Amino acid sequence: MKISKSIQQNLNYIKELNNNSSDIVTRTIKRGGKKVGYIYLESVSSDDKISNFLNKSIDFNLSFTNLFSKLKNDIFNSHIDTCDNYEDIFYYLSSGYTVLFIEKYDNAIVIETKSTLDRGVVASTSEPIIRGPKDSFTENHAINIGLIRKRIKDPNLFFEEVKVGRRTKTKVDVVYIDDIADKSKAKNIINEIKKIDIDGILDSGYIREFLEKKSSSVFPKVISTERPDVVCASLLDGKIAILVENTPYAIIMPGLFIDFIHSPEDNYYKPVNATFSRFLRLVCFFCAIITPALYVALMTFNPEIIPDQLLISFAVQRDGVPFPTAIEVLIFVIIFEILMQADIHSPTVSGSAMNIVGALILGDAAVNAGIVSPIVIIIIAITSISELVFYDVDMINAVRQWRILFILSSLILGLIGFVSMLLIFLNKLASIECIGVPYLTPVSPTSTVGLKNSLLRLKRSKLTKRQSYLSKNTTRMVKNEKNNISS
Amino acid sequence: MKKIIFLASLILLLGGCYDYKELNDYAIATGMAIDYENNEYEVSMLIANSPKSSGSESSSEFQTVVYSGKGKTIYKAIKDIGLISPKELYIGHLSIIILSESAAKNGLVKSLDFLLEEPKSKKNFYIALAKGNKAKDVLSITTPLTDFPSQTLADNLKSTHYLQGAVVSVDFNTLMYQLVNPGINPVLNGFKIYGNEKAGAKSSNIETNLPKAHVQLSNLGIFKDDKFITWANKNESRGINIINDKIAELYIQLDCDGGYIVIDTENFKTKRTINSKGNVTINSSSAGLINEVTCDIDLTKQSNIDKIEKQAENKVKKFIKAGINLAKQNKTDLFGIGLKYYQEYPEKYQEIKNWNEYFQQIKFNIKVNIDLNHTGSIQQSLQRRVNEKGN
């Protein structure tokens, strides 16, 4: 609806629109025979900026257009615009703008006077690293964009903004480097995001749900990170990032299986060490999924492949435990999950009580009471520790679900069930696709360049090519022998 | 989709956890002894996983128990053990089988057929004989160095068969190969109890520094087909093992004036070649090292070294001849000469009616070569130095 020429009418209308909410501030000023009215939301605006803007440059003798250009010339560091309908005005008000109405003009001047409603840039808490940049995204959209901008000073770094959410009108930015990323994929993602019609977007998790909607898999198909350096490294690989207003978590597409065995600091370590860590995480992935199932299969169906000494030790340890092996394992898998959940959400003060419950009561006392055999505690410990090497929470959850499926299959058919489940598992993994890239790339389909880039971590000087499944522009580095420092 | 889920659940549910068995419901047998008396077999099983009393500190401690059953067949005897044991007998992890002399005389096949047919047995266990004792007693003697008796026996057989020269370890597969193939007869190692077998079966036997009884590896028992004939002595055992190329190391003790010289040989290799008449050339070679000298001999002189080499070679030849003599006396080809002849000259082998008879006419041409390339840590023997000082 267009705004009217009467100041009072405008102010009243906006107030009513928001049911006279307590944080709306309106004022009408008369000076030199001219009347102006202004309105802002004190909850999202900065008082200093408002008085500065009003004091410094209000000259009521000017006409609307002159005033607008004068304000534009006088106030350098704020966004100034005009606006002529109520819907936009309320968006501006919520974003921390002040709206200026001038008598007899059916146009309003909006000027950005927002206060900083966020914490500063602090070290990442969910992805801590030992070596490398420590800053992380915040809830402030502009800062988040800035954290990327300052790392990649390239005109081809594009931020395409879409406002999503009928009520929240959240800014969602699709970020990519124009001449590296596959533009058609970026376009697809933007179209998908534009199609989202929902009341509100509060976190990037909402967006990923819409982007992954076709998949029934529990495995994550996008990387979720709060580290700008991870986003930038992905952008330079040709991936596409999505920044969502009011959340520190950016998402990166496509997220392939191999990306989840990476750690942010792999890029900052010596190549050999990073490669070793990646293989270790790959081992941990399988350890976390199959160890309990393998134990159940061997103990209840196929004891013949356990070495003599171990077999007798296992058998003696299990003596007197009333539950079947599989139930015993399942009980402890679930107890560990409960412990994890409790630990994540408990404040640090109750941490020591948690430790005592976890370590003493569930471990030692359960063994002494004959509820569980010591070897099961060891199995669960190995499994749980292996699962915790991953950064991505969704990956951990996926591992957890498959682990239970594996235990159930071992419980029913022993090693045969275990191997069948392994086949189903690999089949399932291989059939996942993320924006046109098979999930197991570069292992299957095999890509040598991909293996060099993602499974191994070669020296930078050897990584001259980008993965062709991510980017059409595959030249990462031009080899120039003359620039070699050592020569 | 619903159909697939229905079918999948059918497969899972109708399977009904086939073959499911908790590990602690098994009585895990690690050793088996077979005795034969009054036309009846007595089978004893060493069960390793009976937990120690609940007062024990570590829950993974265990003790062993031997249960026996009797029957005309091995299977019946084993089933009888099931009447004693509260848990199901599990023979997948057998590590050794001890046969008494009488059971061996009655034929190996009768004792071992069950184990070959039984799908749950793993067939990589060792087989040995009890020399002069009941096989059950050999299995029951407790020993301090390893956890349970059967493991002691198996480990002992495994570790010393390379070192002593008189011992051979035979596993089930090898034995079956020897029984089934023509022109070869098996040899099995013997175990003998020293001391009081009743006291040795008690757990107090391992709580003292001087065990009341122990089991020791003895010499080879020789077979004709699957029937036990007699025991070889130590030299004969060595000879058989040398010809069969079953030893890596062999010590040789030589006389020299007023004392002895002991040579340890390494990389003992024997090659056998056979000609069309069946005559065999045995070619043994090894490197030797002087380990102990208790006589006055000048080891810096090459002539003396040569003399020792010659002496050692003769001694090894004596072993080999003793082995061959034993085999010829008993008309049994312990060396697989017949098998080799069969493989190289199959038509000629067919013409020979009875290989074990023919075996007696075979001529053996023995060549032994020992190189003493090391005289120990000290060049001159201590004995000589002490004697020189006295002068």
The CATH number of residue B325's host domain is 3.30.300.210
A113 C-beta neighbours (distance < 10 Å), count: 23
Give the separation between CA B142 and CA B152, rounded to whole angstroms: 9
A316–B59 C-beta distance less than 8 A? yes
Q: Are the Cβ atoms of A316 and B62 closer than 8 angstroms?
A: yes
> Same structural domain for residues A284 and A428?
yes
Strand, coil or helix: what is A270?
A: coil
Angstrom distance (rounded) from CA A157 to CA A426:
37
- Whether the CB of A322 is below 8 Å from some CB of chain B: the reply is no
Provide the chain A residues 72-131 that lie in CB contact (below 8 A) with chain B.
Answer: none
Q: Which of A311, A316, A411 sits opposite B51 (nearest CB)?
A: A316
Q: What residues in A contact B95, CB-CB < 8 Å?
A: 308
Instruction: Specify burial of residue A267 (Cβ count, 10 A radius: 0-12, 13-18, 19+).
Output: middle
Ramachandran region, residue A254 (left: φ > 0; alpha: ψ -120 to 50; beta: rest): beta
Task: State residue B55's pLDDT score.
Answer: 46
∠ Cα B62 B63 B64 (to 5°)? 130
Domain co-membership, A43 together with A186: no
Q: What is the pLDDT of residue B290?
A: 86
Q: Which residues of B92-102 are buried (b: 16+ CB within 10 A; e: fewer)?
A: bbbbbbbbbbb
Q: Which two tokens stand for residue A180?
A: 């590296």
Closest among B382, B259, B261, B256 to B390, alpha carbons compared: B382
Asked if A324 reaches chain B (Cβ–Cβ under 8 Å), the answer is: yes
B49 and A413 within 8 Å at the Cβ level: the answer is: no
Do the domain assignments include residue B3?
no
- Domain count of the fold of chain A: 3
A17 and A42 share one domain: yes
Question: CB–CB of A299 and B147 under 8 A?
Answer: no
Using alpha carbons, select from A205, A175, A168 the residue that is nearest to residue A189: A175
Is A315 near chain B, with CB under 8 Å? yes
* Tokens matching residue A476: 């990462």
- Tell which of B231, B261, B278 closes a domain: B231
Inside any domain, residue B8: no
CB contacts, 8 Å: B147 with chain A: 309, 312
Residue B179 lies in a domain: yes
Q: Is residue B9 part of a domain?
A: no
- Residue A479 falls inside a structural domain: no
Do B248 and B211 share a domain, yes or no? Answer: no
| Residue A130 placed within a domain | no
Residues (pLDDT < 50) of chain A are 486-487
Q: What tokens were used for B274?
A: 């056979």
Q: Strands, E, within chain B: which ranges?
A: 26-37, 40-51, 62-71, 88-90, 96-100, 126-130, 187-195, 213-224, 227-231, 250-256, 259-274, 280-293, 364-374
Show the low-confidence residues of chain B (pLDDT under 70). Answer: 12, 15-16, 51-62, 161-163, 377, 390-391
The answer to the question of residue B292 being in a domain is yes
Nearest CA in chain A to B17: A412
pLDDT at B161: 63
How crowded is residue B206: how many other Cβ atoms within 10 Å of its Cβ?
14
Of B212, B231, B250, at which residue does a domain stop?
A: B231
Q: Which residues of B touch A373 (CB under 8 A)?
A: 59
Residues sharing a CB contact under 8 Å with residue A470, sequence separation 6 or more, in sequence order: A181, A182, A237, A238, A239, A254, A437
Q: What pLDDT score does B130 carry?
A: 92
Which chain A residues have a beta carbon less than 8 Å from that of B21? 300-301
Contact at CB, A299 and B23, closer than 8 angstroms: yes
Q: Is residue B158 part of a domain?
A: yes
Please check whether residue A237 is in contact with residue A253, taking contact to mean a CB–CB distance below 8 angstroms: no
Same domain, B90 and B225: yes
| Shortest CA distance from B62: residue in chain A | A316
Chain B: residue whose CA lies nearest to A326: B22
At residue B366, the pLDDT reads 92
* Pair (B259, B204) in one structural domain: no
Q: State whether A227 and A308 are in the same domain.
A: no
What does B67-120 look like in DSSP terms, one character per residue?
Answer: EEEEESSHHHHHHHHHHH-SSEEE-TT--EEEEEHHHHHT-HHHHHHHHHH-TT
Q: Are residues B34 and B128 in the same domain?
A: yes
pLDDT at residue A335 in the model: 86
Interface contact A296, partner B, CB < 8 A: no
Per-residue pLDDT tens over the stretch A405-449: 999 889 888 898 899 999 999 988 998 888 889 999 888 888 888
Mutation pick from B1, B13, B24, B47 vs chain A, by most beta carbons of A within 10 Å, is B24
Q: Decide if B60 and A313 are in contact by the 8 Å CB cutoff.
A: yes
Would residue A396 count as lying in a domain?
yes
CB B307 within 8 A of CB B295: no
Q: Is A412 on the interface with B (CB under 8 A)?
A: yes
pLDDT for B56 equals: 45
Mutate to test the interface with A, among B9, B11, B22 (most CBs of A within 10 A): B22
For chains A and B, count residue pairs whose Cβ atoms are closer than 8 Å.
79
Whether residues A413 and B18 touch (CB distance < 8 A) is answered with yes
- Chain A nearest-CA distance from B12, in A, is 7
- A170 part of a folded domain: yes
Domain limits at A399? 270-437
With H, G, I as helix, E, B as strand and everything else as coil, classify residue A198.
Answer: coil
Question: Taking CB atoms and an 8 Å limit, are B12 and A314 in contact across chains?
Answer: no
- A281 and A411 co-located in one domain: yes
What is the domain extent for residue B50?
Answer: 24-231
- Assess if residue B84 is contained within a domain: yes
Chain B residue with minimum CA distance to A301: B20
What ipTM describes this predicted complex? 0.79
Q: Do B54 and B89 share a domain, yes or no?
A: yes
Task: Give the integer Cα–Cα distance in Å for A278 and A276.
Answer: 5
Nearest-by-Cβ selection for A324 from B22, B92, B148? B22
